[in-house]
Structure 1
Amino acid sequence: MPESDRVKTCENCVRAKIRCAHTPDSLSCDRCRRLKKECYFRPSRPRGHHKKRTTRIEALEDKIDQIMEQINPRPDRIYPTPKSNDGSDYSNRVCDVIGKGLVSNELANILLDNYREAMQYFPFVMLPGRMTVKELRTEKPFILLCIFVITSFRDTTLQQALEDVLKSYIGDVILHSPHDNHPNALETFQGLLIVLSGSRQLYQLCRFSSYIHIALSIMNDARMDRPPKYRVATRIDIEGESDQTGSASIPGSVSIADESRALIGCFLLNSTHAIIMQKTCTLPWSPFIESCAATLSAKCEYPTDRYMIYYVQLQHMLERMNLLTTKSIEGHPDVELQLQSFRAEVEEYKNQLPIPPTCDLLIATQYQTLELQLCQISLLDNKHTSTPGDGFVLVSRIDTLCHGLAAAKRFVDFYFTLPPTIEKSYSILNWLQTGFIVAAACKLVIVSLDSSLRYNVQVEELREALELPKVLQFYVQRLHEVAKTCKDGEFAHYQNWLLAASVWFEKTYRAASMEVSSNAGAELSVEGLDFFGF
């Protein structure tokens, strides 16, 4: 047997597990010749063809490609057909930040507990007390992701990573999924409300309008802003086809209550933002919204449900009063009488409330916003057509100013009773309304320095009792203590705005004092105080 056709070690050496040495031309190895044993070499295996070797190389290359695709998956927006469950599996994988290793199970439980504490300040997406992270991860993964986004503010690096996942989900799943394979409308709607309520940093405030319009579009598509019986088929349906939007979105009474809370929350977010930032409200008050609030308050499934009707009624009054802003700016002669009538209506509503306005933080800030908005329209927006010496106008301005300064003082007294660092749980509603109250109080104090008002005994007493410079310093220090509890200065934006407001007030106050002493007829300006940088 030629040497090329046999193995290099004989069978005897293989069994002995020793090296087999032999000369090239010998038929027996050195050891077998010395021991006089029969030496036998097994024939070697036939070599494979070049084509087979190529096939094996190609198989290995394919395997490597598969491994690389698992490590670096390609973004894929071709979604499966609605008949399969792959679409929901895909969206769940996008939201699963626990599976991706961004959030540990221990941290997830902590963040969920933090959200439960914050629910009382934005009670429009409620979670049952028995619901766990595991259940949310399986049943409502998008809501869980949104909870993580707003409660991870103590670690900005983690929050930014979670924000990236959120943006990916909104872009890939919410905006680009086929019509028949959209994620659950109510869950998506609730999740966006959670994210909007927790807007704190400047970049979050800047995206507020975009996110709330996405939420409003989901609400409109699901027809959540109308009673279920009116969620009828579209006008272009044919052959007796029925639109299942209404019935599919509310499988049970729990979903009806959840829908109602979410609708009220969206109404308050949209309306408050529009009124304070002077933008167009795309979801104004409606009888259906108030009926939802009345039903929730009557059933009172959660303790905060009892306040729903008051949230809606106070916001409706704010919307009605905001309509007077245009009239006041244009100088309509009957605006002052309308404002006085409205002030009497607000006072009557307060007296009829079965609960004090300070029983709930949101009601307290809503009510004080309502009172100070009245004063701002009357004193700052209204272009008086009467002469400066008109006694009726002067008495009316003094009365309005005293109401405003007293309202600001009541809010300050209430705010001083709140627990330290409560601002960590504030929703955007609390921030917007509190910021407006601070800005309005600053402007009212400046207006009180007008020569026609400055030496009025009641105005002077209320201005001194308010002690606004000290209040602003206290507020700045309070936010500084809150910011220290966060790793990367989550509340720095509000703190910086408040510092700017304090500097503006001190500068304007000094200038107004000097201006009044040098020119008794000068008209004071309250321009220049921008609000939150929206």
Structure 2
Amino acid sequence: MKPARIPGGTPAPYGRACVNCAHAKCKCILLPTGSGCERCQRLGKECRPAQTVRRRNQRSSASKFANLEAKVDYVLANYPVLQGSTISDLPPDWDPAGLIQSHSDAADQSTSVIARTATSLSSLSSHDETPYSSRNIPEYHDVLSLLYVPPDMAQKYLDQFRTYHLQYFPFVYIPSAITSDELQAKYPFFWVCIMDVLTTKNPEKGDSFRRINNHIHQRIMVDVAPSMDLLLGIMTFVSWVTYTKRPFLNSYTHILMGVVAELGINQGIARENSIMQDYKAAMGIKQSQPAIRTLEERRAVLGCFLISSSVALSISKIDAMRWTPHMEESLSVLAEAKECQEDEILIALVKSHLVLDRSYFLRRDGEAINSPSFYLNIFKAQLDSVKQEIPPHLQKHRVIRLYMYNADVTINEIALGPSAIPHLPDLQRLDGLYTSLQSTKSWLDIWMEFKPEQYFQLPSTVFFQFIRCIINLYRLTVLEDPAWSQSVVRETANVIEYLDRNIAMLNNCPEYIALEEGKEMNMLEKGLRMFTGLRNTWEPKLMELWGLDMSARENDGSMVVSDNMLPPCMPLTQIEEAWMLEFLGSM
């Protein structure tokens, strides 16, 4: 029966709101023409009517408990028989063979690690079932309703993501032959997160963040349904989402590590039964055969380590993911597989952060204070070894250079501490300070090569590096030490000039800079606010330090002050944490 026509200008009846209004939880006001609603017309969206679906009666909790009790009674009644022989009338999903046989089958495999390693995204056309799919895991047919992107734009966004974004953080390999529809069918949540990252001018960014955040919470905390789709989606969400006002990276880093642990991809195939596995075998519960680790899983776990290490180094509230022998093996497997050049980049980035992770633990526990020169030499030697292992064709790669310069800056921060012998020059410490200065300058020079629109392609790990370098340069500029020359720092790398150049570059991008009241700020708007706040806070002290007249800069117009861009407070004592909380919204 054809539904009755609803007069225009009136709210849609219950259950008749369009898809966009229903997801945004907004009132759906129908147009007089009957061709859509006012909200979709105002936002320029395709107005799609909601499909009415009759809900089926779900099984009651009482029936579920009754079924569970029947299974327990069955096991208790037949437990002696389960130990001795196979029962023909066991439920189909129960197998008294247990996990022991599956482990022996896995141990009998004698092929090489490379031959036993398969890829996932590169074989989407086969539609093989992933090792995490289970009839006990809820299906999420509504995951694609979190964000709507037209098919032609979705393909464009996917091409941009794998070409530009993944070069700075290659945690996944998406072959060029994979289309948006294929990726959407295989990994719907991962696809949604990619689309959300690429829609930089979406007026409903806050709503999409809330919907994705709620979906992650539902999958992790309520349904306890980890999957590779969820893991890749969260990694994308964490690495490129910067428009949220609340800090979330600490929590989400723990969530990432929890998903990795649940999937078990940070460990190799178990050779010994755990207590839980022995218990299930004794109870006759069928055990799934251990899955062979794929290249996709190996990349993902290394990417999670890189995220957790970057967050640990920048925030100092958590520790990086524990490094395991399987993760060490994954470095070798990816290097031998040579499936894509991005794997070589990922290996180099992870190895550099392994060195930084060791230095972080020493500084966190206060051990580096006693013998700073000794530890400096150790970490420099380890980092030099990592640099020597980088293939020649990647030595000048921009991403490799960014991470290696950042590693130099991070390691040599030990030299910023007090000298081991007071009132006496420490040549090794001075060498560390000058190395830190040169590496900071080199990193910032690469940063200045980026165009403003390329900032949207950079992951949070690179923005952490920028914060570290700009703060390190300021600390070197104001460092008071008889053996240290502040004038040399100013002549080598003037921190005010770097901030001025960044501000001027962002001011030339009015299409990205709006600074509207109540609107979620994008990365460029947050960056402009941060650069301006840094300069207006640091400049008075630096002008006094350099013996320059600040009023002359104010009169010649070189100093730009805008009340809209200044944050409410600029505490220098908490700069590394509070400022990134305020401006990047990700700590």
TM norm structure 1: 0.71
Aligned AA (1:211): Y
Task: Confirm or deny: 8 A CA contact 1:125 1:194 kept in the other structure.
Answer: no
Deviation sequence 1:243-280 (CA, Å, 0-9, x none): 42742xx5xxxx71110111011000001100121122
Find the aligned partners of 1:116 and 1:383 in 2 and give their Cα distance.
45
Shift of 1:469: 1.9
Identity of aligned residues (%): 18
- Picking from 452, 462, 482, the partner of 2:482 is 452
Task: Confirm or deny: 8 A CA contact 1:222 1:245 kept in the other structure.
Answer: no
Deviation sequence 1:120-148 (CA, Å, 0-9, x none): 22211222222222223322211111111
Aligned length: 436
Find the aligned partners of 1:262 and 1:306 in 2 and give their Cα distance.
14
Matched, 1:471 2:504: no
Aligned AA (1:141): P
Change (3 A) 1:230 1:79: farther
Task: Confirm or deny: 8 A CA contact 1:137 1:144 kept in the other structure.
Answer: yes
Find the aligned partners of 1:346 and 1:67 in 2 and give their Cα distance.
62
Deviation sequence 1:394-420 (CA, Å, 0-9, x none): x34432221111112222333344455
- 1:150-169 to structure 2, matched below 5 A, reads 150-157=197-204, 159-169=205-215
Find the aligned partners of 2:285 and 2:214 in 1 and give their Cα distance.
34
Matched, 1:203 2:230: no
Name the one with the larger helix percent.
1
Identify which range, 483-492 or 504-513, moves more after superposition: 483-492
Aligned AA (2:443): F
Report the 3-state secondary structure (helix = DSSP H, G, I; strand = E; otherwise coil) of the residue aligned with 1:91: coil
Structure 2 residue runs of 5 or longer lacking an equivalent are 1-12, 23-49, 65-91, 94-132, 515-519, 549-570, 582-586
Find the aligned partners of 1:210 and 1:154 in 2 and give their Cα distance.
26
Change (3 A) 1:367 1:170: same
TM norm structure 2: 0.65
Find the aligned partners of 2:57 and 2:346 in 1 and give their Cα distance.
41
Which residue of structure 1 aligns with residue 295 of structure 2? 257
Higher normalized contact order (CA 8 Å, seq sep 6+, divided by chain length): 2
Structure 1 residue runs of 5 or longer lacking an equivalent are 1-63, 516-524
Matched, 1:532 2:564: no
Aligned AA (1:359): K
Deviation sequence 1:51-84 (CA, Å, 0-9, x none): xxxxxxxxxxxxx999899889999997999999
Matched, 1:147 2:147: no
Change (3 A) 1:307 1:451: closer
Find the aligned partners of 1:351 and 1:116 in 2 and give their Cα distance.
28
Aligned AA (2:296): D
Task: Confirm or deny: 8 A CA contact 1:124 1:264 kept in the other structure.
Answer: yes
Which residue of structure 2 aligns with residue 176 of structure 1? 222
Matched, 1:424 2:483: no
Matched, 1:212 2:260: no
- Picking from 288, 292, 295, the partner of 1:244 is 288
Change (3 A) 1:357 1:529: farther
Deviation sequence 1:431-485 (CA, Å, 0-9, x none): 11122112112211221xx251455xxx744540223321221123334456734
Which residue of structure 2 aligns with residue 518 of structure 1? none
Which residue of structure 2 aligns with residue 290 of structure 1? 328
Identify which range, 83-92 or 349-358, moves more after superposition: 83-92
Aligned AA (2:580): F
Shift of 1:320: 1.1
Find the aligned partners of 2:239 and 2:364 in 1 and give their Cα distance.
29
Which residue of structure 2 aligns with residue 433 of structure 1? 465
Change (3 A) 1:228 1:359: farther
Find the aligned partners of 2:221 and 2:248 in 1 and give their Cα distance.
16
- Picking from 372, 375, 391, the partner of 1:338 is 375
- 1:71-470 to structure 2, matched below 5 A, reads 91-97=140-146, 102-117=148-163, 118-157=165-204, 159-177=205-223, 182=225, 185-203=227-245, 206-230=247-271, 234-235=276-277, 236-237=279-280, 238-241=282-285, 243-244=287-288, 246-247=290-291, 256-326=294-364, 328=366, 331-332=369-370, 334-351=371-388, 353-355=390-392, 359-379=396-416, 382-388=417-423, 390-391=424-425, 393=426, 395-418=427-450, 421-447=453-479, 450=480, 452-453=482-483, 455=485, 460-461=487-488, 463-470=490-497
Task: Confirm or deny: 8 A CA contact 1:79 1:87 kept in the other structure.
Answer: no
Find the aligned partners of 1:78 and 1:444 in 2 and give their Cα distance.
66
Shift of 1:496: 1.9
- Structure exhibiting the larger radius of gyration computed from Cα positions: 1
Report the 3-state secondary structure (helix = DSSP H, G, I; strand = E; otherwise coil) of the residue aligned with 1:193: helix
Find the aligned partners of 2:289 and 2:248 in 1 and give their Cα distance.
28
